[in-house]
Every structure is written in structure tokens, then in C-alpha cells.
Amino acid sequence: MKCAILYIFMFFSFSEAFLFNHENKHGVGVPFMSNFSYYFQYEEQFFNQKLDHFNPTDKTLWSQRFWRNPQFYKSGGPAFLMIEGEAPARAEWIVTGQWISFAKDNNAICFMVEHRYYGNSRPTIDASTENLQYLSSEQALADLAYFIEAMNEEYNLPKEIKWIVFGGSYAGSLAAWLRMKYPHLVYGAVSSSGPLLAKTDFYEYFQVVRNSLSLYDKGCVSAITDANKQLNKLVRTEIGRSQISEAFQLCQKLENNKKDISILFENLAGNFAEVVQYNKDNRKSKSSHVIIDTICDMMMQPADLPAWKRYAEVNKLMLNINNETCLSCNYSEYITNLQKTDWENASKNDRQWIYQTCTEFGFYQTSSRSTDLFSQHFPVSFFIEQCKNIFGTKFDEVLLSNAVNRTNILYGALDINVGNIVYVHGSVDPWHALGITKATNKPYAAIFIKGTAHCADMYPSSVKDSDELKSARKEIQRIINLWLKKKEIFQNYHYLVKFIYLPRMTKEVFV
């Protein structure tokens, strides 16, 4: 959910085994930097934060990590806050990215805050299920509110200073929700690729993946479909499973085990989902050079090679990129690792984010409606079973259904009606299916960028950026300028939203 995947394919690597053969699937990636030593001049700092904001009798404090960059600040300028999401904060973001360009243009002081329970922001002794009760978006939003108040006091910032918040993926959702929940503290929010609708069965995810692959070549989708049909036949026999184990470089021989087979099919679908979600996004990544064109060309040629073997070649490519020797599809091993509660293992295995999906969001990218493309092996029940196996039997479908409903009631899902927010999404990014992409007659702005991926608007500019992406960034800057210069308009929400078109990009902006 900066842009990670909020991607829930909940697998990870252990030593030589590669169970989840994809880089961080939630949060924003690492930006490219021309000067790698530049960000070290802004050291990490720690802020005394409350453990439980909603229990006034609990006075427990913990240390939350943050960074400050005052380089561009001039008296009268705003304060910009980069919200980190469900991954360790990367210090590079305190000195680079589009938000820093916006800060320079507006003389802003910049802050970046790490989310509780991620990275080095550890409120409790470990990540046990009991301790994870303090991990929630509500607590995280309250953290940010208290942080803003503390920074105003600590650095003697003017009472009238305007705070603009930024975030991508899950942190993009937090940016919008922070503006909605704490409008007296936050003047504006830029929400990039933020999913606002909590949903247990996020089957739309693979529908967008399918559409994005099809836009390159329908033959790519046909080849993937054929590959999965062939694999479905192979997994039914011992000889077929042995062939799969060898061709896909599995760490253990694939047995006739339903859950192991589900992990296999989900991991293989994840190879394509990762590439689609981050296609040409300009992040620093081992796999950034692998784009939709790359994997689709591999799936369509050579034509005389069975589709499932071409599918195996794509998997081999992803393994090599990540310096992994094999792919693990052992469900028991997967659950055992996720049950570890020490910080090192919990962080490595994504235990915290999985907890949030089980107790707040769902967001499970299932095969419910894409059975002809990536098979039917990872329905929503597969993910709910993981919640129960990892955290306990009470984390069942009833708890999850109530939790998702509660989240949508708390935040309004797609019915947020708050001004001074700009929602930015890319058409290739599957997460746009759970976000706001239109803003006709609404008090906020929406920018929907054709041909771009997850959080693409957030990264530093590149010579390879499309005209649509360049135009979107300029529009975000224009909207921020309006927020900062025309206070009376946006405080009273008396303005017109007009639907306009640019070449290959749809945007809804203030005029």
C-alpha cells in the first residue's frame, strides 16, 4: 500500500530460498540520486511519541524516527511532511523526489516521519500479536498529528504556517486521511496511488494487470493463459510436479499439497504483477530495467517452446535479478517464519503489514476473477487462512469483514468530500482501482495519468519521463501554489472543478 507494493503477495526470502521473489511490494521504492552522500547531512532524529493515543491513562512513550531538511526554508514558507508507510523509511527521500522540488519552489521546511512498527520506529519490545494491537492507521494518523504540533513548538514555527503532506501507496491514503481527520493541522495533501477503499477480495488488481499486458500485445495475455492451463495439468501428476520443480528452480520438490501449489501459482503471477505495477517508474531497483515489453516478449517467443517453459524463463529472470538460487513454495515454512516475533524476522518477513491487512484493509490480490489468466489457486479464502495461521484462529473471515467495514466507515472509502487534496494515479498501476481518479463537482482534485505506474509522480524527474507524467507534475505544483496563495478560496471551498483533457491524460483540476 512509499509506493510498496502495498502489494500483498505475502512471500519473502530466507537465506538461499526465495519464497517471495519480488522486491518490497508495498510502499514507495528508493529514488535515484546523483549524489549518494548528500542525504547523510540530515541525520535521523527521534521524537517521544505516545503508545496509545486513545487511552488517556496509558502514558507509555516510545521513540519515533524522523528527519528534517531546513535547506529551502524562508520565513513565511510552508512546512512539507513526507509520510512513510509500511516499510523502513529511506533517508534518500529527505533530499530528493518531486516533493523536494516543490519545497524548493515554495521555500518550505521539510520533515519525514517513519510509520510506527516499521524500520527503527519500534513502540514495543517485539512484534507479538498482543503488541501489534497498537499498530493501526488510526494510531499512525494520531502520531502524525502529535508530531506536527511538536515540530511547531520545537522549531518555533509561525502559528499560521501551512502544513502540506505527501505520501504514496498506503502512505498516500494516510495523507488524504490526515487532511480529513486533522484539518486544523493539515492545510493540504498530495495522495499518490493511495487506495482509499478497503476491500477483502481485491480481484480488480489482476484485471488491471491483464489490461496493462494486453495493451502491449494481446498475444502476451494468451501466452500467459496457455502457460497456466499447462501448469494446471502438470501439477496433477508426480511426473508433472517434478518437471515444474526443475524448470522453475524450486527449493524443494513440489508435492501434491494444495497450499504449496497455491503459493507457487501466486508467486508466478507476482512476477508479472510486480513488473506491471512498477513499469517504467524511475525508481532505483534491481528490476527497474525489466518492463512489460521485456516479459511479454519472453512469453511470446520462441513460439516453438511450450508456454509453461517460457513462463519458467520469466521466473528464472526474476530469480537472477534478485541474486536468488531457488524459489520456495513451502507453506509451512512460510507460516513458521511469519510467526516469529523478534524485530529482525518480523521486519524481514512483513509480519506487521500482513497484520494490518488482516485487521484493517484486506487488499488481497486474488485469482477470484482471473481464473483463466493466472489460475484459480489463490482465492480470498487462501489469504484469510494465512491470517488465522499467523496470528490466531480469531483472525477469521468475520473479523476481517468487520474490520474492512469499520475502515470504510472511519475514512469514507471513495466518498471523501474534503477540499485541498489532490489524488494522483497512473492507469497502469493496479491500485488505481481502489482510489479516486475522477473529481467532477468535488472539492478536491484528481489527476489520472495514462501509461504510468505506481507512485511514478513522486520520483525525481528523468529524461525518459513521458509528456503525460511531466504535465501531471506541473499540475500538482500549480495546485500546491493555489493552496498556498489563495487561502480564502480553499478555506470556504467555493470554487469550480472542471473536467479537462490533455493529450493522452485525463485530469480534473481547480480552475
Contacts (Cβ under 8 Å, ≥6 apart) of 213: 220, 221, 224, 272, 276, 292, 296
169 is catalytic: yes
Q: Single out the residue of 197, 306, 156 nearest to residue 243, CA to CA.
A: 306
| Residue 110 · residue 103 · CB < 8 Å | yes
pLDDT for residue 504: 34
Q: Which of 35, 31, 42 is nearest to 71 (CA)?
A: 42
**Model confidence at 498: pLDDT above 80:** no
Distances in Å between the Cα of 286 and the Cα atoms of 31, 314, 437, 502 are 12, 15, 30, 33
pLDDT at 440: 79
> Mean pLDDT lowest for which of 5-9, 27-31, 107-111, 126-130?
5-9
Residue 95: partners with Cβ closer than 8 Å, 6 or more residues away: 33, 38, 39, 42, 69
Sign of dihedral through CA atoms 462, 467, 469, 473? Answer: positive
pLDDT reading at 352 higher than 60: yes
Q: Is the bond into 443 cis (omega within 30 degrees of 0)?
A: no
Q: Is 191 helix (H, G, I), strand (E, B) or coil?
A: strand
Options 136, 137, 169, 471, the catalytic residue:
169
pLDDT score at 500? 32
pLDDT of the residue at 495: 29
Average pLDDT of the residues of the chain:
88
Q: What is the pLDDT of residue 9?
A: 40
Residue of 246, 219, 213, 209 lying closest to 301 (CA atoms) = 219
Contacts of residue 188, defined as CB under 8 A and 6 or more positions apart, other chains included, come to 162, 164, 165, 179, 420, 421, 422, 480, 483, 490
For residue range 182-197, list pLDDT tens digits in order.
999 999 999 999 999 9
Predicted confidence at residue 26, as pLDDT, reads 54
Least confident of 28-42, 192-206, 453-467: 28-42
**pLDDT value at position 289?**
84
User: Contact, 119 vs 89, CB < 8 A?
Assistant: yes
Q: Check 281, 350, 429, 465 and give the catalytic one.
A: 429
Tell me if 3 sits within 8 A of 191, measured CB to CB: no
Q: Find the catalytic residue in 121, 454, 457, 471.
A: 454
- Using pLDDT thresholds of 50, 70 and 90, give the confidence band for residue 322: confident
Residue 503 scores a pLDDT above 80:
no
Residue 68 is placed in which grid cell?
Answer: 528534517
- CB neighbours of residue 72 within 10 Å: 18
Q: Which residues contact 478 (CB under 8 A, 6 or more apart)?
A: 509
Backbone angles phi, psi at 66, to 5 degrees: -150, 170
pLDDT at 370 over 60: yes
Average pLDDT over residues 380-389: 97
Name the more confident of 54 and 373. Answer: 54
Question: 439-489, pLDDT tens digit by residue?
Answer: 877 889 999 999 999 999 999 998 889 999 999 999 999 999 999 987 432
In the chain the domains, ranked by start, together with CATH numbers, are 13-29+200-403 (1.20.120.980), 41-197+414-510 (3.40.50.1820)
Residue 121 or 302, more confident: 121
Confidence of residue 281 (pLDDT cuts 50, 70, 90): confident
pLDDT in tens, 395-446: 999 999 999 999 999 999 999 999 999 999 999 999 999 999 998 778 899 9
